[in-house]
Copies of this chain bind each other. A is one copy, B any other.
Amino acid sequence: MTSGLTLSIDAMGGDHAPDAILAGVDQFAKDNPHARYILHGDQVALDHLLADLPAAKAASEVRHTADIVPMDAKPSQAMRKKGTSMWNAIASVKAGEAAAVVSAGNTGALMAVAHLQLRTMEGLHRPAITASWPTPKGQCVVLDVGANVDSDPDQLVDFAIMGEAFAKALYGLERPKIGLLNVGSEDVKGHEDIREAMRLLRLYGATLNLDIHGFVEGNDISMGKTDVVVTDGFTGNIALKTAEGAARLVGAFLKEALTSSPLAMAGALLASSGLKKLRNRMDPSSSNGGVFLGLNGLVIKSHGGTDARGFANAMAVGARLASSSYMTQVADNLLRLSAARVAAQAQAQTSPAVEEA
């Protein structure tokens, strides 16, 4: 699937850049011998690292820049500074040289710079950030997890459309089930905005042939009740981080429990291969790669603290989306959504509205 694929890499973004980034490229390159990479960053530092990474070296071209976006940079600072490794990595996508950009840099800065260069897709209100969330069956996609601090009902409909196309492309689902995150599953629950969003989802979902499951609650996310969970960026960000914190707490309790006595420690030793499987499953590197949806170009955000494996996984997300019909599907659905919105408005204006009791 990676034949003819070029990925643009922000080699200087991330807590362990450029070492972990280039090691990640090397790891990915070994598994995907036909892909190519444009590495943006300090030529001397990168060449030095590539000397020990033959797979990455063979498939990479280094584009030198000495400027970087610091991990604690404000979005406004990053936007004013052209020529950073982050800026240039995105520019490669804009220029059509690469199918996707992967960066482990500062999230806010990356969104700002990507938004500035790539712009929002036609017909879309705002971009969104996804999280791939582990479930018993596999994964579900939750969005928005932080691109926006609030979202109106129309934006939530946009997120549903992008999330659905994402789940098709990345998880290979034929007709992903879509849920809207709320405080209860009945249609009367929640505040006015969320109920209006559900009304719109059902209205436009019929036109766009979306599988709208209805409202889902917080615990339904990890249970995998739906393949797509739509929410505003404030709630989604808090839900994601809260789940990470809870999982980490259980992990800490587990560690304590398994070191609480010599017997428990012996047991843990015997069970170590099973426990290692659990660790891998909970490891953020396994599902690394939040994706910025809704821009005219694919932008993959790897965790800031990523290791090589995590970065390679983020690259795999980019490669899979790039080789799918994700972009055209979303563009297509946004066009149809625009038409449906215009039709709904026209109808509302010509026929007097029947208000609900």
> A249-288: which have CB < 8 Å to B?
249-254, 256-261, 263-275, 277-278, 281-282
Chain A interface residue count: which class? 35 or more
B residues near A268, Cβ cutoff 8 Å: 267, 271
- A190 and B263 alpha carbons, distance in the complex (Å): 48
Contact of A339 with B by CB under 8 A: no
**Which B residues are CB-close (under 8 A) to A33?**
none
User: Cβ of B239 and Cβ of A238 under 8 Å apart?
Assistant: yes
- A interface, over-half SS: helix
A229, chain B: closest CB distance, angstroms: 10
Residue of B nearest to A225 (CB): B245
> Are B263's CB and A273's CB within 8 A?
yes
Q: Which residues of B contact A241 (CB under 8 A)?
A: 217-219
- Which residues in chain A, 176-221, are within 8 Å of chain B measured between CB atoms? 181-183, 189-191, 217-221
With A136-B252, A252-B136, A278-B254 as known contacts, state yes or no: A242 contacts B218, CB within 8 Å.
yes
A261 touches B249 (CB 8 A): no
Least Cβ–Cβ distance between A357 and chain B, in angstroms: 14
- A73 at the B interface (CB under 8 A): no
Q: Is the CB of B190 within 8 A of A234?
A: yes
Taken together as a complex, chains A and B put the C-alpha atoms of A166 and B242 apart, in Å, by 22
B254 & A254 in contact (Cβ 8 Å cutoff): yes
Whether A51 is near chain B, meaning CB under 8 Å from some CB there, is no
Any B CB within 8 A of the CB of A243:
yes
Residue A149 CB within 8 A of the other chain: yes
* Bound: A242/B257 CA distance, A: 24
User: Is B267 touching A271 in the complex (CB atoms < 8 A)?
Assistant: yes
A242-B243 contact in complex given A251-B250, A270-B263, A278-B257, C-beta closer than 8 Å: yes
Q: Which chain B residues lie closer than 8 Å to A323 at the CB level?
A: none
A235 at the interface (CB under 8 A from B): yes
Are B277's CB and A260's CB within 8 A? yes
Report how far A159 CA is from B136 CA in the complex, Å.
36
Q: Given that A135-B249, A247-B247 are known contacts, is A261 also in contact with B273, CB under 8 Å in the complex?
A: yes
Q: Which residues of B contact A267 (CB under 8 A)?
A: 266-272, 274
Q: With A218-B242, A234-B191, A271-B268 as given contacts, are A183 and B146 in contact (CB-CB < 8 Å)?
A: yes
Verify if A233 is at the interface (C-beta below 8 Å from B).
Answer: yes
Chain B hits for A274, CB < 8 A: 257-261, 263-264, 267
Is the CB–CB distance between B245 and A218 below 8 Å? yes
Q: Sample 16 A-B pairs with CB under 8 A, ordered by A number.
A: A136-B252, A150-B191, A218-B237, A218-B243, A218-B244, A219-B242, A221-B245, A222-B245, A235-B238, A239-B239, A246-B246, A246-B247, A250-B282, A259-B274, A267-B267, A267-B270
List of 6 A-B pairs having minimum Cβ-Cβ separation, nearest first = A267-B271, A218-B241, A267-B270, A219-B245, A218-B242, A264-B274
